[in-house]
Structure 1
Amino acid sequence: MKPRSQSHLQPLSLFNGFNIPFLLFYVFILLVSSKLIESGFMVKTLPGWLGDLPFTLETGYVGVGESNDVQLFYYFIESEGNPKNDPLILWLTGGPGCSALSTILYEIGPFTFNYANSTLEKPMLDINPHSWTKVANIVFLDQPAGTGFSYAKTLDAYITNDTLSSMHAYDFLRKWLVDHPKFLNNPFYLGGESYMGIVGPMIIQEIYKGNEVGEGPKINIKGYMLGNPLTDTSSDCNSRIPFVHRVGLLSDQIYKSTKENCHGEYINVNPDNNRCINDLQVVDKCIGRINKPQILEPACDTSNTLKSDLFRRRLRSLDKASMDIWSLTQVQIQGCRDDHYLFSYVWANRRDVREALHIDEEFDKIEWVRCNETLFFYIDKEPISYTHNVLNTVPYHRHLANKNCRALVYSGDHDMVHPYLGTMKWIESLNLLVVNDWRPWFFDKQVAGYTMKYSHHEYNLTFATLKGGGHTAPEYKPKECFNMLIMWLANDAL
């Protein structure tokens, strides 16, 4: 199955002069595009699901970049509430390189695995009662190329960076809206997690700029939401040391010595600073075996599961039409969260699943992975095909603070990957007016976390923690995160 042809967009600056022929041409494009949807990729059922899906799912590819060489795959799920009026969210998963399917299955999507009735040979699907699609239309996007089911037609097109990735996502959004004109008037929010704290604010700025210069279609932008975001790479990574001290993983003496000898810089350490290096070795002994995404959960050995050469060889040799040939006795289930991820590898690489999702035939021989680690952000090394050319997006937030814009930034407070302390630090650096100071917020009469609200003219930012949440929060605290979303979208105070 080949990707759909996509309409080429032109700036709408001529609208300012009421250019009627161009206006009629644009209306014609919308009408033609709406017909494309009718013959598009509506998914009625999925392997592992009994009967028809109880929600509207559409999948497809949109070509972006030079000559549309980058083919971005998306899952669009209509709101289960009121799709005509509910917000439209473009959701970006982190990494970079983590599939949107991971967000759908393990975080905020309408279906997940029924682990009680599933085996690795036969994964079964189930409803997620806390799906964000109950109150919002959500486009889940695999980006950049090399993520999930997205791919590039040439090797050169796989090479990208933060700036290009943000432009591709913006290009995707504009083309998708032209193909889906009935959602042009819905309130629009950009959502993302983890590394999308870098790319997301760049996309938001492009949307505002595009609207201001008349670049069509006009997007009804209302704001953005970022979960456990990486924002200032240096500050966020350095915040890990004060975080682990605050939660009792370092003694006062170790922390004090490390802070004084390293001068608060724990990442780019002077190689001649032996005292700092020695202190950091002590710190590593204290936290080296701690599970960074959620410090209270066990650090599991994944050598025989996700990273198993045996597992991957069998995945590559799998006849995707059947699971019966699998013999996975040597893949041990340890009762860890990572074990749940195995089901997505098996399910997404089945031929019948790919046919149901309308995956491009050019992807047929490519193995789906939950996260493409060749694109990952590491503070100390650069991937081959992805250049992390933007290391700090605080200036983007500062620019957005001058817009009519709402922002929700939330963090699981047991996340050591991007600790909430680093997030609070860059928010405070914006010098916004504090509307509501630090206080608890509640769900089901229990403290769900803590929150602060800030404002600057027509801009307001809500920061919230999820008590006991990890990286990222909805996977660990689905009920609380769903309630947080409902209140924030309704403009109710947490």
Structure 2
Amino acid sequence: MLPSNHRPALQQRQSTAMSNRNSGGSCSLVLPLWLLLFLAILRLPAAAVGTCHVVTGMCGFDGPLPFYLETGYVEVDERLGVQLFYYFVRSERDPDKDPLLLWLSGGPGCSGISGLAYEIGPLQFDAEGYSGGFPTLLYRPEAWTKVSNIIFVDSPVGTGFSYATSEEGLKTGDTKAVKQLLIFLRKWLQDHPQFLSNPLYIAGDSYSGLIIPSLTLEIDRLTSTIVATLFGHPMLVTKNSPARPCRIGIELGEEPRFNLKGYIAGNPVTDNQFDTDGHIPYLHGMGLVSDELYENARENCGGKYSAPCSAACTEAIQAIDNCTRDINLQNILEPACPDELWSPKTLAETDGTSRVMLESAVILSGFKCTQAKYILANIWGNDATIQESLGVRKGTIGTWIRYNRDLPYTGDIQSTVEYHSRLATKGYAALIYNGDHDAGVTPVGTQAWIRYLNLTIVDDWRPWYVGVQQVAGFTRSYSSSLTFATVKGAGHIAPSYKLLECQIMFRRWISQKPL
């Protein structure tokens, strides 16, 4: 997620998560990242190591759950005691053949419950019917789990119910998250071998736009190494060990590799320059900035707003910020959310007087801003009965917060444009979509970096429809199997606004049909 006062795109990420980029980046490594990840995975034991818990019902939901829900932990760093928590929902159509998605929510620091209950999953909190007390959960038939198996993971460590037994283990960042997710997926598939042959997609939204293509590329590299080994190419050997076929999660002779098919990125944070440079043109195009203000900024900044080149440029940007400071950048049609709704302290307080005051504020707000709905998750996630039903290990976390904004996090992946380029040349399917009312990660910025890839257009800009000729957005497809789409009327985290339209978009794309 991007905070409601995020302006322009990615600047808050730069001032917080990115403040330590130069101190811990991968550029100081002697070996390439993919090779280090590969060697780390080779050291993993072959035996299954995860623990899982089947959830058939929970407080707040009326009756048994109408879908298969499993929760559990996977250890991704034995030395530091890092355990990633997950929610897994089987496809309600054909779990043996339907795709398997690893869904990564944004932040960094948003729990997997964001995907499960606010974005694409089969649950939702009943915000409209909420009048205080414990929140009610409802079933959502428009969920993506109607046609796919989905793992919602609390990543990075420190998010949701994920934890570490050491202080050092809680220190994380982009590159470390990718490494641990790779280990997570390997071990999870080892514990669930029935899904090894299912088409695999890495998916998510918002800040995970930096993680998704990075993880997808690392999986491709590992898979390619294994394939080369199997077909007689030089084998990768470690020091003081004999040459031998490589192994990922299962013994050689069974399924030797991930069945990776592609990736999905919604409203994706991708590159500070592209994302931020699209911000002001978007505001102008939506009628939120006058022609004069826009032309002044364009002339003084040369169309480059991510790194102001002069005092005149800085002043022009500031003038636009002053005009739009009270706009909800997550969805320009919604009221701006009070800052206290984003305070970690506010979101964490769910007991006694604080809880009563918090519930009152939520009820009085009438949930007119999307962020208010997230408070229901914090009430739900801190309930002891809920934690017991989910199989949460006692004493492993303190107060549960849906969005932990206080992670000791290093943003050391600055751009994934080159990653998208590499994946495009390899032919992996990619679905990139934007809610067209998101002023934080705008369709303008996303289209700019896609244009930079210099791909061949095979199906040019056109509307895509749902129902009886109802325009749901606009789309363009490329020869490299990349599809871009806008979702009309949606803000940041498009499915949280237009779930049915997004499910139809996903169904068509995953079936290799035009949108």
- Is this a same-fold pair by TM over 0.5? yes
Identify which range, 147-156 or 223-232, moves more after superposition.
147-156
Q: 1:358 aligns with which of 377, 391, 413?
A: 391
**Residues 1:206 and 2:236 are matched in the alignment:** no
Shift of 1:52: 1.2
Match of 2:338 in 1: 301
Match of 1:256 in 2: 295
**Residues 1:447 and 2:486 are matched in the alignment:** no
Match of 1:195, SS state, is helix
Match of 1:469, SS state, is coil
Match of 1:347 in 2: 380
What amino acid maps onto 1:391 in structure 2?
Q
Q: 1:302·1:338 contact (CA, 8 Å) conserved in 2? A: no
Shift of 1:329: 6.6
Identity of aligned residues (%): 42
Shift of 1:96: 0.8
Cα distance in structure 1, aligned partners of 2:487 and 2:475? 9
Cα distance in structure 1, aligned partners of 2:193 and 2:280? 48
1:327-361, CA deviations, whole angstroms, 9 ceiling, x for partnerless residues? 65753531222221121110111000100111111
What amino acid maps onto 2:336 in structure 1?
A
Cα distance in structure 2, aligned partners of 1:117 and 1:258? 45
Q: 1:230·1:418 contact (CA, 8 Å) conserved in 2? A: yes
Match of 2:110, SS state, is coil
What amino acid maps onto 1:266 in structure 2?
Y
Shift of 1:146: 1.2
- Count how many residue pairs are aligned between Structure 1 and Structure 2: 445
**Residues 1:76 and 2:88 are matched in the alignment:** yes
1:324-403 matches, within 5 Å, as: 326=356, 330-332=360-362, 333-335=364-366, 336=368, 337-364=370-397, 366-375=398-407, 385-403=408-426
Cα distance in structure 1, aligned partners of 2:473 and 2:312? 37
What amino acid maps onto 1:203 in structure 2?
L
Match of 2:229 in 1: none
Cα distance in structure 2, aligned partners of 1:409 and 1:66? 35
Q: 2:279 aligns with which of 240, 246, 249?
A: 240
User: Any unmatched runs of 5+ in structure 2?
Assistant: 1-38, 227-246, 250-256
1:254-285, CA deviations, whole angstroms, 9 ceiling, x for partnerless residues? 11111111222323224xx3322221221012
Match of 1:379 in 2: none
Match of 2:17 in 1: none
Match of 2:160, SS state, is coil
Shift of 1:10: 6.0
Match of 2:460, SS state, is strand
Match of 1:381 in 2: none
The 3 A distance-change label for structure 1 pair 374 and 279 is same
Q: 1:302·1:308 contact (CA, 8 Å) conserved in 2? A: no
What amino acid maps onto 1:244 in structure 2?
L
Match of 2:268 in 1: 229
Q: 2:209·2:269 contact (CA, 8 Å) conserved in 1? A: yes
Match of 2:485, SS state, is strand
Match of 2:361, SS state, is coil
Match of 1:114 in 2: 126
What amino acid maps onto 1:419 in structure 2?
T
User: Any unmatched runs of 5+ in structure 1?
Assistant: 1-7, 13-24, 376-384
Cα distance in structure 2, aligned partners of 1:312 and 1:107? 21
Match of 1:290 in 2: 327
**Residues 1:278 and 2:315 are matched in the alignment:** yes
- TM-score when scaled to structure 1? 0.85
Cα distance in structure 1, aligned partners of 2:68 and 2:270? 34
1:144-159 matches, within 5 Å, as: 144-159=156-171
Match of 1:401, SS state, is helix
Cα distance in structure 2, aligned partners of 1:139 and 1:309? 29
Cα distance in structure 1, aligned partners of 2:195 and 2:346? 46
**Residues 1:49 and 2:58 are matched in the alignment:** no
Match of 1:413 in 2: 436
Shift of 1:191: 0.4
Q: 2:272·2:306 contact (CA, 8 Å) conserved in 1? A: no
Q: 2:175·2:413 contact (CA, 8 Å) conserved in 1? A: yes
- TM-score when scaled to structure 2? 0.82
Q: 1:430 aligns with which of 448, 453, 473?
A: 453
Q: 2:115 aligns with which of 93, 103, 118?
A: 103
Q: Please tell me the root mean square deviation across aligned C-alpha atoms, in Å.
A: 2.3
Q: 1:306·1:342 contact (CA, 8 Å) conserved in 2? A: no
Q: 2:490 aligns with which of 469, 481, 493?
A: 469
Looking at both structures, which has the greater relative contact order when contacts are Cα pairs under 8 Å and sequence separation is at least 6?
A: 2
**Residues 1:170 and 2:182 are matched in the alignment:** yes
Match of 1:216 in 2: 248
Match of 2:98, SS state, is coil
Shift of 1:300: 2.5
Match of 1:19 in 2: none
Match of 1:122, SS state, is coil
Cα distance in structure 1, aligned partners of 2:359 and 2:377? 18
